[in-house]
């Protein structure tokens, strides 16, 4: 296998002749080796497929058009279903926030009321303790101290309930946010994107047909190569780095490049490599 790399944008796939200039034993003599080859994108041809089990509902490009990286080239049949699922999860998220907000507001109100009762109990006890010892009754003093203890316990309980509710909200929010992210990824997969900028060589997919069989064939033509077959007798004369020239009917002019790879596998029946 002989590869010739050269930047070009005019021709994508075609047969042509490649001539490799080879230095002989005498440096001033230049020999030429000819071989039949095929002009191909260096990165190969990419067949873009959709999600298995879906069909094609829309194709946005045509053959011979150029597409930009990440451009939407087709839409799959599951798009509407996945879009509805995403909307449903987002609605569930909005409802969750509303319900939790109402619950937090009620708990916050309960905490405020408990704090007010504690403050009143503290004030009542302090006011009573400010009386002279002769004016105080042990049973009343003990009761007011119990009232303070009960009020403080009630406040701590309500504060704990509020903190737990807030933690629960955050956990529920994260769970649904992950569901939203997953649903968004699934929805994005229903829009088939171009994996790179390139040229549309073929559109084998049809609306209503299965997407898994292939939608479009793309090629990055910014870097091209010539793959050609060299007779085994000439193979030893070809080296990586040698200059090469390709010509053919599909080219407006000859293009030049260099040998970037030489294969060693021989086709016995055809005597080429």
| 174-230 pLDDT tens trace | 999 999 999 999 999 999 999 999 999 999 999 999 999 899 999 998 888 888 888
Question: What's the pLDDT score for residue 18?
Answer: 53
Residue 234 sits at the vertex; the CA angle it makes with 229 and 238, to the nearest 5 degrees, is 80
* Torsion of Cα atoms, 123 then 127 then 133 then 137, to 10°: -70
What's the rounded Cα separation, in Å, for the pair 138 and 151? 20
What's the rounded Cα separation, in Å, for the pair 223 and 48? 20
What's the rounded Cα separation, in Å, for the pair 66 and 204? 16
- For residue 23, the cross-strand partners are 30
First-to-final CA distance of the chain:
6
Question: What's the pLDDT score for residue 30?
Answer: 60
What's the rounded Cα separation, in Å, for the pair 142 and 148? 10
Q: What is the pTM of this model?
A: 0.65
What's the rounded Cα separation, in Å, for the pair 36 and 224? 16
Question: What's the pLDDT score for residue 7?
Answer: 39
- Say what angle helices 79-129 and 138-189 make with each other, to 10 degrees: 170
Residues of the chain with pLDDT under 50: 1-11, 15, 22-28
What's the rounded Cα separation, in Å, for the pair 49 and 41? 19
Question: What's the pLDDT score for residue 24?
Answer: 39
SS3 label, residue 93: helix
Question: What's the pLDDT score for residue 221?
Answer: 86
* Torsion of Cα atoms, 71 then 74 then 80 then 85, to 10°: -50
């Amino acid at each position: 296998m002989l590869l010739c790399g050269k930047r070009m944008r005019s021709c994508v796939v075609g047969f042509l002749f490649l001539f490799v200039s080879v230095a002989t034993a005498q440096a001033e003599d230049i020999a030429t080796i000819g071989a039949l080859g095929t002009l191909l994108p260096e990165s190969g041809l990419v067949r873009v497929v959709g999600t298995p089990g879906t069909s094609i509902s829309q194709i946005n490009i045509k053959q011979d058009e150029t597409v930009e990286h990440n451009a939407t080239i087709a839409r799959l049949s599951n798009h509407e279903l996945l879009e509805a699922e995403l909307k449903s999860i987002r609605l569930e998220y909005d409802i969750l926030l509303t319900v939790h907000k109402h619950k937090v507001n009620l708990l916050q109100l309960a905490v405020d009321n408990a704090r007010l009762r504690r403050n009143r109990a503290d004030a009542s006890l302090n006011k009573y303790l400010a009386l002279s010892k002769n004016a105080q009754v042990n049973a009343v003093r003990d009761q007011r101290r119990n009232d303070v203890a009960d009020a403080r316990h009630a406040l701590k309980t309500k504060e704990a309930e509020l903190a737990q509710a807030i933690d629960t909200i955050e956990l529920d929010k994260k769970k649904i946010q992950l569901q939203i992210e997953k649903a968004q990824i699934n929805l994005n997969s229903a829009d088939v994107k171009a994996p790179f900028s390139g040229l549309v060589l073929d559109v084998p997919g049809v609306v209503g047909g299965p997407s898994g069989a292939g939608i479009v064939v793309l090629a990055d033509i910014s870097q091209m190569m010539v793959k050609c077959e060299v007779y085994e007798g000439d193979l030893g004369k070809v080296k990586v780095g040698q200059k090469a020239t390709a010509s053919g009917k599909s080219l407006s002019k000859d293009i030049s490049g260099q040998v970037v790879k030489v294969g060693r596998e021989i086709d016995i029946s055809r005597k080429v490599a």
